[in-house]
Amino acid sequence: MDMQPSVKIFTGNSNPELAEKIAKRYGNGLGKLTIQKFSDGEFQPIYMESIRGDYVFLIQSTNSPSENLMELLMMIDAAKRASAGYITAVIPYFGFARQDRKDKPRVAIASKLVANLLTSAGANRVITMDLHAPQIQGFFDIPVDHLDSSAIFIPYIENLKLESLTFASPDVGSTNRVREVAAYFNAEMVICDKHRKRANEIASMVVIGEVKDREVVLIDDICDTAGTLTKAANLLMEKGAKSVRAFCTHPVLSGKAFENIENSVLEEMVICDTIPLRMESSKIKVLSVADLFAVAIRNMYENKSITNLFVHSHRR
């Protein structure tokens, strides 16, 4: 009699707290995996239990991307060589996603390279969330389940019971993401159009749309230095907004990000736990993606649709 393959969930070092939550929500403990470190900085993932024929889910964000990405690639390779039945890379935060095209001469398209590496290593599927550019899914020749943080953010926004609600995109690149959430609430939307001198440095910004006496919610996928979000929030308040909140999926929060957020006019910054926080802030509220990923893993294993995980697909 054929036995159904088991589900086994493992994690690297990028975000073990989130991995533990996902495994607990799923109903499994984390599998036994050791990452052996050598004195020269080299490392070696070792599965401490049999995974032959199993459905293996490897949870690893690629924040501070190089070492975490290499860990994930080696975990995939080790699982393949240990005869895992089906290998899924669960990547809550997909690093290098901002390098999705040649926006200047003689640069790499790093997100395509990462897609190739994951496939070559032996991944059969990828589960990720809020890619910086949704078309990155097309860089893969394996299935990609692309989850959406609006399933977490929308209930939180509903509970705020804000009057005169208006949504704002902090730049032109986020307009589609923000438009979908605004449509769910039948709310207005404005755009903060920015011009950069260079990466992480904004030269100018203007607001396209009316925000006077509105309670504004900014939505973005990545918060790096928080320069764009805090500048947008300040500008929106100058244009007459009652209040400004920011919702951001991936808290990269590098450089002076925490200082920028603390000194901003933002009522609060709501983020997900796809990347662990380096420090706490009185203005930062963390919502967990663990339930969403646990359900996605279960539905994938049971060959069920994940459409019901997208809240904004059920418009009011």
- The DSSP call for residue 89 is E
Which positions ≥6 away from 90 have C-beta within 8 Å? 22, 57, 58, 59, 60, 126, 127, 128, 293, 297
Which positions ≥6 away from 250 have C-beta within 8 Å? 63, 93, 130, 221, 222, 223, 271, 272, 274, 275
Which positions ≥6 away from 104 have C-beta within 8 Å? none
- Told to judge if 194 belongs to the known catalytic residues of this protein, a careful annotator would answer yes
**Amino acid at position 212, single letter:** K
Query: Considering 8, 21, 194, 231, which one is annotated as catalytic?
Result: 194
**Amino acid at position 33, single letter:** L
Which token pair is 87? 């290998």
Tell me the C-alpha distance between 100 and 68, whole Å.
19
Tell me the C-alpha distance between 221 and 205, whole Å.
19
- Residue of 240, 293, 216 lying closest to 22 (CA atoms): 293
Reading across the β-sheet that carries 125-129, which strands appear in turn? 7-11, 55-59, 86-91, 125-129, 144-147
Q: Which residues are the active-site residues?
A: 194
